[in-house]
Amino acid sequence: MLLHVIARGRIGRGPEADLVARYARRIVWPLKLTELPDEGGRVPPRDPNGVTVTLDERGEQLTSVELARRLEKWRDGGKRECRFLLGAADGHDEAERNSADLLLAFGRATWPHLLARAMLMEQLFRATSILANHPYHREG
């Protein structure tokens, strides 16, 4: 299953970009990164056999294992693509939230969108590592 991260805002150069690149290199599943301008630009069309996860502070707070199990369920259910939508500084509009298969939150705090992108990439690496029984993730 393709993991497709669609993010508003250009990450440019800096520590956040380095973190995104570091985790992107470590993810062994097919991965695509799409950057859109803060406003405008077209979100790539959704694969009819795909799912959309929208990052939103009002979303579900899943553990890393729970996220891994969702990805596993979608992958094993034949989904071809899992899209992750990250908004710009002002987040998503109501239509984007309503069209998501899952609203996902990294806690109740508001995170800068560049940090949220790095956090998402780490969680995708962690989730795929959990599913591969890689020792990166430790249950405490």
**In CATH, what number is assigned to the domain containing residue 21?**
3.40.1280.10
Check residue 90 and give its pLDDT: 67
- Asked if residue 75 belongs to a domain, the reply is yes
Q: Is residue 113 part of a domain?
A: yes
> Is residue 55 in a domain?
yes
Answer whether residue 140 is part of any domain.
no
40 in a domain, yes or no? yes
pLDDT at res. 42: 86
pLDDT tens for 96-120 read 888 899 999 998 888 888 888 899 9
Query: Is 87 labelled as part of a ligand binding site?
Result: yes
Quick one: which of 77, 69, 80, 63 has its CA closest to 29?
A: 80
67 belongs to a structural domain: yes
Residues 73-93 have pLDDT tens digits of 999 999 999 999 998 766 777
Based on the structure, what is the number of domains in the chain?
1
Residue 97 CA, chain-centre distance (Å), reads: 14
Structure token digits, residue 25: 């290199």
pTM of the full predicted structure? 0.90
Rounded-to-integer distance, Cα 69 and Cα 30, Å? 17
User: pLDDT over 70 for what percent of the chain?
Assistant: 95
What pLDDT was estimated at residue 137? 65
Report yes or no on 49 lying in a domain.
yes
In single-letter form, the type of residue at position 136 comes to: Y
* CB-based contact 113:36 (threshold 8 Å): no
Domain containing residue 31: 2-131
| Alpha carbon distance 45, 52 (integer Å) | 11
DSSP state of 86: E
55 carries a ligand binding annotation:
yes
